[in-house]
Amino acid sequence: MDINTLRIAATVVSFLVFIGILAWAFSRRNRERFEADAQIPFSHEQ
């Protein structure tokens, strides 16, 4: 196995991890949690 094969494997694995993160971030079951978390800075009373 040469260095180019390792580079290709690392690129493919990184791409699959990226797609997994996108799927997790945009999944419908996380939407309510992310919307609630987005309102945290605005609900802080001074």
Contacting residues for 35 by C-beta, under 8 A, at least 6 apart: none
Greatest Cα pair distance, the chain, in angstroms, is 61
Task: Write down the domain spans for the chain.
Answer: 3-39
The reported pLDDT for the residue numbered 43 is 85
Indicate whether this model's pTM tops 0.85. no
Angle at 15 between CA 12 and CA 16, to 5 degrees: 85
**Cα-Cα-Cα-Cα dihedral sign, residues 17, 23, 29, 31:** positive
In the chain, the N- to C-terminal Cα span, in Å, equals: 61
The reported pLDDT for the residue numbered 1 is 82
The reported pLDDT for the residue numbered 44 is 72
Per residue in 1-46, pLDDT (tens digit) is: 899 999 999 999 999 999 999 999 999 888 888 999 889 988 876 5
